[in-house]
Structure 1
Amino acid sequence: MSRRHGSETVGMLGLTAHVSEHRTEHRSLRHGTRWLCLISSLALVACKTVDPTEQLDSVRALEAERGGRLLVWEQSQDDASLIAIRLDALLHDGLTRDDAATIAVLNNRTLQAEYEALGLAAAEVLQAELPSNPTLRGAVLFPVSAGDSSLGLMAWLSDLWLIPTRKDVASLRSTSTELKVAQMILATAHEAIAAWDGVVCARRMAQVARELEDALHHRSELIRQLYDNGFVDKVEWTSAVEDLLHQSLVARRREYLVQEAAARLAVALSLEGAAERVPENATLVRATIDDTLSVAALLDEAMSRRLDLMDARVAVQLTARRLDLERALVWRSVSVGVSYEGDFESVASDAQNPLGPTFSIEIPIFDQNQAGIAAANFRLRRATKTLAAARHRARAEVVTAWRAWQMTAAQLDTIEGDLNDTIEMTDRYARTWNDRIDGSYLDVLGASARRLRLDALWIEKVLELNGRQLQLERAVLSG
């Protein structure tokens, strides 16, 4: 605080003005206009609104590189109507595998809630751009002089070097949020695809279980007839009954798994009865990968495109800027302005009203923000080490996912090749032998049961392989 010519300078940053009852009309108009312009400019800054369009566009760009699915952030009734129209169009001809992923990205309630984080990020960026809120202060000194009054508008000069750093920090936080939302979009789409596969698999497995139960029931009846006529012993008959009872339990379990898979799909899509929209004749299709791909190429792609690695790199940049901000905060209490000072006790029309600059600075003596700077240094070191660890983890996940894919694909090749050929040969032999000797048909039933078990094994392996493909995509693109 300072006093010149009997007036008070108010302020941290401040533009400080002192008003006298005895100034000329011309001077009042001039200074009134000056105050009006200043207040108007500050009001324009304060009236900026939060617009998360930039954040949403960034997320859309990230998704376009990885899935290309339509994104709609439900912020209004128009958005809700657009989503509803799109859902109706997608469900018109039944729910396909690709449709499930598209609908989940559009309609999943958890994902829609996550979009709100983009609005929070946009608000933080806007707040970081705003100067410190100016304060209008007035003072009248008693009992020295009732005319010795002042009016001051405070603002901080230190905003000139703090705002750019604050904005960088907020922008990097926003980028991190965008990357996390993009990760969730990919995870939501993958969950929907896996859930759709699960419904189709559960249905087919339940059907195979029922067919196998029927085959074993027929077999047990034939063996019972043979037992009644003394052709087989009781052990063989009871063994056949035991096989039938065991398969009956499996069939009941498979029926329950159909309901469980339907519930999973409904949650993934946030759509009740979603499984009912999956066509009854829908089948699993074996996932494929480009034969020219190598684990080295996948590793290179993961290092450049994997979202969690991108986020970890942003975290390093963010902590570095936070360190800069902590260092700048040492000089956070710097103000400058102009002050209007007058001889308020004089009623003479020629009273002196000098207008001059005011500069003030608060220099910290006991607290140089050492703790804040040290904490920022530790955060930077941790972020750097976390990035290195994330790279190691990404490499391990890509290699593991690639090997798992190769293993499952090789197993499926064996099922579709040698094992299938063996089952077909056994079935043909059993039917031919039965026709020639007019046998009991037991060998034919046994061959049919083996065929059904092979079908069940193939379905499970295709489901596993498709899951391996999703795992590999996450390892390369998301983490």
Structure 2
Amino acid sequence: MRTTRSKAIALAFLIAAGVGGCASVTPDQRFPEVQADTLARVGGRVEWRQGTAADDLVDQRIAALLGQPLSADDAVQVALFNNAGLQATFEDLGIAQAEVVTAGQLRNPDIAGFFRFPSSPPSGLNWNIGIDAWLLDAFLVPVRQRLANASEDQTLRLVTQQVVRLAADTRAAYFALQADSAAVRAQESLAEVARLALDLSRAQGASGNADDLRVAADRSAYQQATLSLLQARSAERASLERLRALMGLTDRPVAWMLVREAPGPTSGEPGEDELLALALGSRLDVKAADAEVQRQEYALELSKKWWLSTVQVGVETEESTDGQYTTGPHFSAELPIFNQRQGEIARQEAVIRQVQRRRTALQGQARTEVRTALQRVSAAREVVVLYRDEILPLRRATLAAVQDRYNSMFVGVFELLTTKSELTTAETGFARALQEYWTARSDLEVAVGTRLPDVPLPAANPSAAEAAPPPPPTSPPNPHQQHQPR
């Protein structure tokens, strides 16, 4: 009899332990969803580095990308593969998955007992052992699982949002470096023009054909051009370091190049109403806000069923000092006399109203961001088109005409150098305009929540004068077709 009771108690304990031990945690179980969403929203691929052989393949892919002139998409792909902060964010998925597993597990049973030694006959040992189970806690498991699943959905959206944000930041840093590099080349050309003008005025001053005031003015212009060149190089180095940090390349030398010029603008974007509807249906922060509302609603349901977690049912066996056994069930529960969780429930209801209103505010913010970004893109496109189709062709045609007049000795070298400087300044403005356009378009894609189609905008047909090729430069051209960051 004694052995039978002991075996029954041990069996019950082992069954409970076995049921709880069946669950396992797979941290990357939902990572394929992040990969699919990233491909659709960013056009790139993410990999979770977990110390496996797949990491070597990722490193090989990064090396291949860095071995060729980097486009903006290439830079984004390197960042998605190599950014350490993003890899840390992926661990949030493992944390959320662990919470899902925990939510599906029953509460562990309690085992308790005692041994007592009598001070007088009968002198047998008095002992008691019992096991208690939180049986009604099983009714809370589905609610806890819904709560944990909603939290995991929210985490999934927020992790993917970090991927999208990293891609946008990398694009912005890429185009900033591209524009800064163009500015350096332009300032180098302007400094060379200023040097030539200074050399010429000095030579004319030595021969009595230029006064000291002209020489001083050209010297001041050369000093200003040199100062601007130093500032441009400093800005280029700062932009390079920002891009290196986003791409996770701060621990290796810069041996990669950028494509020299940014692509031209696209033909246009969808209409405002279409973009607004797309944003409210696609933005990950809005989806995360939806998941947060659902999560808090499940938390309220769990709070209202608090009493289920206080009920214990068990069985115990006791041997008295005279050798008699008693076995039977017992239970315990909390009596809700003083505290019926009214405050906790009221708090949770207030939290639900709060997150609902935050979601509404976020939707309004999304609309504002879409409209603002769309206006920026439209304005930036107009500036780019104005530079590309009118300002630059006119500056090039003007320089060609001045070059012809200079060759015919109708104008002097100072007029030629001034015209060359005006063209270089316009080219710098065009590079900055392209930077603003692509940065604004990247921000629009973030505001909408997904990639937009890239249909190039065709250039206008220039007139015969505008189509004239630029004259030979006054200083040696740069033989490199791509820019290698300094």
What interval of TM-score do these two structures reach, taking the shorter chain for normalisation? 0.7 to 0.9
Change (3 A) 1:428 1:85: closer
C-alpha contact (below 8 Å) 1:141/1:149 kept by paired residues? yes
Measure, in 2, the Cα distance between the counterparts of 1:83 and 1:271: 14
SS in 2 for 1:153: strand
| TM-aligned CA deviation for residue 231 of structure 1 | 4.3
Runs (5+) with no aligned partner, structure 1? 1-22
Please say if 1:335 is aligned against 2:335.
no
Q: What pairs up with 1:25-40 in 2 under 5 angstroms?
A: 28-29=3-4, 32=7, 35-36=10-11, 38-40=13-15
Match of 1:17 in 2: none
Measure, in 1, the Cα distance between the counterparts of 2:446 and 2:29: 26
Q: Which amino acid aligns with 1:80?
A: D
Q: 1:357-410 deviations in whole A, cap 9, x for unaligned?
A: 544432221111122112111111110110010011000000000001111111
Measure, in 1, the Cα distance between the counterparts of 2:436 and 2:124: 87
SS in 1 for 2:26: coil
Match of 1:202 in 2: 180
SS in 2 for 1:242: helix
Q: Which amino acid aligns with 2:245?
A: V
Change (3 A) 1:68 1:334: farther
Match of 1:317 in 2: 294
Match of 2:456 in 1: none
Measure, in 1, the Cα distance between the counterparts of 2:145 and 2:52: 32
Measure, in 1, the Cα distance between the counterparts of 2:69 and 2:190: 29
The equivalent position to 1:247 in structure 2, one of 206, 211, 225, is 225
Measure, in 1, the Cα distance between the counterparts of 2:179 and 2:45: 27
Runs (5+) with no aligned partner, structure 2? 451-486
Q: Which amino acid aligns with 1:206?
A: V
Per the normalisation by structure 1, the TM-score is: 0.85
Match of 2:154 in 1: 176
SS in 2 for 1:75: coil
Between stretches 217-226 and 164-173, larger displacement belongs to 217-226
C-alpha contact (below 8 Å) 1:316/1:383 kept by paired residues? yes
Change (3 A) 1:37 1:153: closer
Please say if 1:130 is aligned against 2:108.
no
Match of 1:268 in 2: 246
Q: 1:182-212 deviations in whole A, cap 9, x for unaligned?
A: 1111112222222332333222221111111
Per the normalisation by structure 2, the TM-score is: 0.84
Match of 2:395 in 1: 423
Please say if 1:303 is aligned against 2:280.
yes
Q: What pairs up with 1:60-71 in 2 under 5 angstroms?
A: 60-71=35-46
Number of aligned residue pairs: give it.
Answer: 446
SS in 2 for 1:95: coil
C-alpha contact (below 8 Å) 2:184/2:233 kept by paired residues? yes
Please say if 1:462 is aligned against 2:439.
no
Match of 2:349 in 1: 377
Q: 1:297-352 deviations in whole A, cap 9, x for unaligned?
A: 111110000011111111111111111111111442112345567888467xxx8x
| TM-aligned CA deviation for residue 41 of structure 1 | 4.4
SS in 2 for 1:284: coil
Match of 2:419 in 1: 447
Change (3 A) 1:364 1:82: farther
Measure, in 2, the Cα distance between the counterparts of 1:472 and 1:388: 20
| TM-aligned CA deviation for residue 86 of structure 1 | 2.5
Measure, in 2, the Cα distance between the counterparts of 1:97 and 1:150: 73
Q: 1:397-437 deviations in whole A, cap 9, x for unaligned?
A: 00000001111111111111222233123213312222333
Q: Which amino acid aligns with 2:294?
A: Q
Match of 2:482 in 1: none
| TM-aligned CA deviation for residue 229 of structure 1 | 4.5
C-alpha contact (below 8 Å) 2:126/2:318 kept by paired residues? no
Q: Which amino acid aligns with 2:172?
A: A
Q: 1:241-284 deviations in whole A, cap 9, x for unaligned?
A: 211110100111122223222211211111144743115x6322
